[in-house]
Structure 1
Amino acid sequence: RLTTRSGRAEAGRFLAEGAQAVREALRYGRVHEVFATEQAAERHADLLAGAPAVSVVDRRAAELLSETVTPQGLVAVCDTVTVEPERALSGTPRLVAVLVGIADPGNAGTVVRVADAAGADAVLLTGDGVDVHNGKCVRASTGSLFHLPVAVERDPAAALAACSRAGLRTVAAHGHAESDLTTAEGLDSPTAWLFGNEAHGLPDDVLAAADTAVRVPLHGRAESLNLATAAAVCLYARVLRHSP
């Protein structure tokens, strides 16, 4: 059931697959049980020593729990990690990634990973997008899903309002914006970067509501950057400006 969105929502739990995800879940999340094949249990004996409960399963059971072509034979049952936006944006956040209607779980998970690496304070998902507890999203985050607050607010207007109340300047990543990362001003201030759907970008109402829009400059012949790459460039813009 936890391989489906409805099953995860009903149970309040999800599956984290693979050694890295399980390791970070045990360190930073709340794990109820770990399922492992005999081979995986032997290979990761030190890791499993910290698990609250371990059930050894056969290869067929491991395949049913996995959403990959080549299961790693190690799956943890974890409490869902999402929190309310107000909690994720509490304190004095300086950098937040807002994903608006992101459909691809691999992209969503990669952006969570990038946000974690860039030192972001939170990730906020809004609009009709992917479930951040989707197996592919969890794998793409490589454990970062457990490192920083992840919030869900279905209404984009409410999400932007929450960012503004937290003192964040909302900056839309938009391929046709007049300013680019080399000329835009104010990126040193607390910023919530808005990233849109892979195919359609940000909705017009979200673009209109953002404080400003900025594009990533393209100097070669590439038509565009994919979502995760563009997000990495934008989220690191402030980090690189403050590098020694």
Structure 2
Amino acid sequence: MSEHRASRQPALTNPRSDRVRSVRALSQRSVRARTGLFLAEGPQAVREAVAHRPDQVRDVYVTAPAAERHTDIVATAVAARLHVHEASPEVFAAMAGTGTPQGVLAVCRPAALVLEDALAALPPDAVVCVLTQVRDPGNAGTVIRAADAAGADLVVVSDSSVDVYAPKVVRATAGSLFHLPLVVGVPVEQILAALGERGIRRLAADGSGRTLLPDADLRGAHAWVLGNEAWGLPEQTRAGCDDVVRVPIHGLAESLNLAMAATVCLYASAETRRRARR
């Protein structure tokens, strides 16, 4: 930490300061909406933010012990000319939204992506992941992480879903939030229409599907449309898709949960594309 001390202000030591309260308040959705900011907590999330999307990072806060443990994060942030603030353990505890803070967090700006622009930038064999009415933060974050791992080109989250910039969602993405394009806040009907206009096949992932995943046509550009954890996709949404696909269950399990089903579907698409690109 010594190599960048001269570039930083004195350590923050007052846990009741306005700055500390404003950072902690970002755990509230209304504050995130008003300020256009969100929190990325923990070394994994902050490492990916400063390395891959420094343009989205406004400030980095770190305790002295954490700075010594994670010199790569601090060095990358300083190289990107980001504001790095040392905070006392008391200040950091007051800022963080977790019970056991890890000493590193960043205040970030959401990526301002418009659906039409994001779709226009896709490759001809694009794989898109669409979340509709997904309410559980852990599920939403895990699906975004799975989409990243499977090499998806875009994630679109409907306006009826959980706020993807909520702290629990951000943590569940394990940094993948900063790896791939993300569009949020769009009505489901508008998403499906925009995909159709671009010639992107819409595949509803639902237990009611007649097409089994191994039989689904995953060639070319397509989007997986995923529904609510409890009730899946409504009939209107399924009707707006080009096919309804279900993951076959070979054992006695009643079903797969949302994140598991999404991962299986996305990796099936990834494998089909890998073979086609040979």
Aligned residues, how many? 243
Write the letter of the residue equivalent to 1:236: Y
Which segment is superposed worse, 226-235 or 26-35? 26-35
RMSD between superposed Cα atoms in Å: 1.5
> 2-side partners of 1:145 and 1:82: how far apart?
13
Deviation at 1:87, TM superposition (A): 2.0
The percentage of counterpart residues that share the same residue type is 49
> Gapped runs of 5+ residues in structure 2?
1-24
Deviation at 1:242, TM superposition (A): 4.4
Tell me the residue number matched to 1:222: 253
Tell me the residue number matched to 2:104: 74
Matched, 1:98 2:124: no
Tell me the residue number matched to 2:272: 241
Distance change (3 Å), C-alpha of 1:82 and 1:203: farther
Matched, 1:137 2:161: no
Which protein has the bigger helix share? Answer: 2
Distance change (3 Å), C-alpha of 1:35 and 1:156: same
> 2-side partners of 1:18 and 1:56: how far apart?
15
Q: Tell me the alpha carbon deviations over residues 70-103 of structure 1, each in whole angstroms, 9 at most, x when there is no partner.
A: 2111101111125111122123441000000110
Question: Whose Rg is larger?
Answer: 2
Q: What TM-score comes out, normalization by structure 2 length?
A: 0.83
Counterpart of 1:225 in 2: which secondary structure? Answer: coil
Q: Which runs of 4+ in 1 moved over 6 A?
A: none
Aligned to 2:93, which of 47, 63, 67? 63
Counterpart of 2:143 in 1: which secondary structure? Answer: helix
Matched, 1:180 2:204: no
> Gapped runs of 5+ residues in structure 1?
none
> 2-side partners of 1:80 and 1:92: how far apart?
20
Superposition map of 1:6-45 within 5 A: 6-29=30-53, 30-45=56-71
Tell me the residue number matched to 1:50: 76
Distance change (3 Å), C-alpha of 1:82 and 1:106: farther
> 2-side partners of 1:46 and 1:154: how far apart?
36
